Amino acid sequence: MTGAPPVVVSYAGVLGGAERVLLDCATRLGEPVLVACPDGALSAAVWAAGLEHARLPERTLRLGPAHARALGALAREIRTLVARRRPSAVVAWGDRALLAAVPARRRAPLLAGHMDLLPRPSVRAAVRWASRQAAGVVAASEAIASAVRAPRATILRPGVDLDRWTPAPAPEGGPRALVLAALAPWKRQDLALEVAARVPELQLELAGAPLPGTPGDYVRRLHTRAAAPDVAGRVTFLGAVADPREALARAHCLLHCSDEEPWGLVLVEAMAAGRPVVAADAGGPREIVSGGAGRLFAPGDAGAAAAALRAVLADPAAPGAARARAERFPVEATAAAFKQALDAVRS
């Protein structure tokens, strides 16, 4: 192994599931790591974790001409950073970072980190091409590896610190479900509200804040729907929560309505807390939820989701099964898989 510490590049500075996996892997690597990202929640977490931070400008997340220019500028910044720091490897965390990092592969081995399903068809070919240019590929899930067409990718299966996520006693009173996701159309909080309409005894909490670029009318429509007579008084918007364990302790289960989640770290967290999961039968949740740890439903089908929710609430063995399933996803295994892939590209 030669060179300075590896550089991990993130296009965005938010702290979502993909970025939390980045931190889990970087802090357990056993060597210094430089994280290049814009200022924001991610950079604050990087500093708090004792990692080195290289500041990148914040740029648009919207596809279009401005986005193409942003990727070009990021590519130049990565080349400059690599020339100055001479890292042992460049880890491109996400599709945007990967597209920008390809030119730097001539100066340092490139590890492609795929945390999301591929975007619109016009971008898929470019991302797949960029992935082939990398010396190695890691993917959060089998679903992502299949979408990227990387059959030899190292699958991370992001996990949790099982000592931190201890099971909580079931709450008293009527059934309660938690939706824990950023307020964005693809997270389908709108579907969760339709599920609540079909389960009139259910109390529903929505935890999460809008992502940058989330249409304002989406959030307004959620509040309007939550005020409708069939769900009024049963829906609470919690906003962003720094630590979801308290919210999970108030719930009997986690309701996750995204039509196709790339992985779903929050599902593993909920199960580790002894909360079974109701999620769409696609993407990462299909790989996570089994063994009585919850129920899957046809994506976008509110009636099927409501039936799955009722089945989970009626199953006294579900909380224990959820914890047992979560124990298959320790964060140490995630970090070890990442280290193995990184060492392979540096050897």
Question: Mind listing the domains of the chain with CATH numbers?
Answer: 7-159+330-346 (3.40.50.2000), 176-326 (3.40.50.2000)
| Residue-level pLDDT at 1 | 45
| Residue-level pLDDT at 62 | 67
Buried b (16+ CB within 10 A) or exposed e, 24-49: bbbbebeeebbbbbbebbbbebbeee
| Alpha-carbon distances, residue 102 vs 60, 97, 155, 276 (angstroms) | 20, 9, 21, 41
CB 272 within 8 A of CB 317: no
Provide the CA 6 distance to its chain's centre, in angstroms. 22
Token representation of residue 26 = 């970087």
pTM (2 d.p.): 0.93
| Residue-level pLDDT at 38 | 97
| Residue-level pLDDT at 76 | 97
Instruction: Compute mean pLDDT per 10 residues along the chain, 347 residues long, and list them.
Output: 84 92 97 97 97 93 73 96 97 96 96 90 89 98 96 97 94 97 96 98 96 86 98 97 95 97 97 98 97 97 98 97 98 98 97
- For residue 339, the 8-state DSSP code is H
Instruction: Give the SS3 label for residue 168.
Output: coil
C-alpha closest to that of 46 among 77, 10, 79, 80: 10
Q: What is the C-alpha R_g of the chain?
A: 20
| Helix axes 17-26 and 331-346, enclosed angle (nearest 10) | 70
Question: 133: number of CA atoms within 13 Å, CB side?
Answer: 20
